[in-house]
Structure 1
Amino acid sequence: MTWDILNIIGTLAFAISGALIAREEDYDILGFYVLGFTTAFGGGLVRNLLIGIPIVNTWMQEGLFLIAFLVITLVFLLPNHWLEHIKNWIIFFDAVGLAAFAIQGANYAVSVSAPFIAVIIASTITGAGGGMIRDVFAGRKPMIFHSEIYALWAALAGITIGLGLIRGPYATAFLLILIVFLRILSVRYNWNLPRNIPYQNQRSIGG
């Protein structure tokens, strides 16, 4: 049950996130479906390749594909005056997708007895991979590399689950809410991981 719920939450959230960015970029309906589907399923596809899960498993999710199709179509058909009200929700939907799929990816890796480091990688790729592919297709700099702390929150799911600290649906729900909360806080207060000084700034500092 927990597995199915995480799948549905992540698929819904990331499909909406991809479709909203397609709308921002003024893509046609094909672009909506490409961004929506790659955001919703891209991370899981890459994860399966990395930890040796048969690729055919990705295509055996007819229900999730249908959910994504319906949600993407709904976003495409929304009246323009509604768009301004929901554009600010992109970060929220992206955070929910990140959290749900990071937890699901970590659980998936644990279920196949993957080593601890593989659990962390699986959670990070599943949570952030779809958004990274979406940003590349949308011609944007991937959020995972520059945005307020992003992939770290996905890795947090892998660490806690890999260490056996999260067990049961209530603990899973708490972790999901925590990751969403931390992601939104990192955007709200502009938390970032350390960065190097850009080359041009180094030259100006050096005179």
Structure 2
Amino acid sequence: MTVKSFRQKTNTSKAPTDEATAELEYWASVGDSKPLYGADVDASLLHKDSESFNLRNLGTILDLEEKTILGVTTPYLYFGTWLSTFPWHVEDKNLYSINFLHQGEAKFWYGVSAGFGKRFEQVVSKLLPDQHENCAAFLRHKSTVIAPEILEARGIPVVRACQRQGEFVITFSGGYHSGFNFGPNITEAINFASRAWIPRGIRAHE
């Protein structure tokens, strides 16, 4: 599907301007709405030779990887719509990620720090025992949507962030995150690593 046809198939509705109201409307719609989300598009809107800013050349140790891994060592584009969702997950191999909102409506994020990662997994496994029984690593399937209030009631702190056009969001190694879009937007994301990530990367590989 081309970007043009995607936009033709999606509505142009937007979230309420008030963030709290937008959150309430989003969670009220979960399970009923079926918004389209153009995710994991292998492309970039940044010039490949740009020196001032280029997601493909962040200068981290992940640049030493000679093999091309789509969405990990190369950026992905994401075309959002109102109510489109990215479920709870951590990045592949517990890498860091950087997300830039090129244009359009805001993207709303929820985050759980790596320090509460194990507790998060335990709580979610108890909340969704059937999924856990079928696959112990079911959170890697990126299909789990749980309201932050449910997690907070079980002792897991959840941070919130509203990313707007021209802004970056960085997720740290091992940090669970999820969220939704306030309307039509285009974001670009890629993974990266630091020396501090190496022990987490080794554990993720084991």
TM-score using structure 1 length: 0.24
Q: Pick the structure with more strand per residue.
A: 2
Q: Which has the higher helix share?
A: 1
Q: Of the two structures, which has the highest relative contact order with CA contacts closer than 8 Å and spacing of 6 or more?
A: 2
Instruction: State TM-score, norm by structure 2.
Output: 0.24
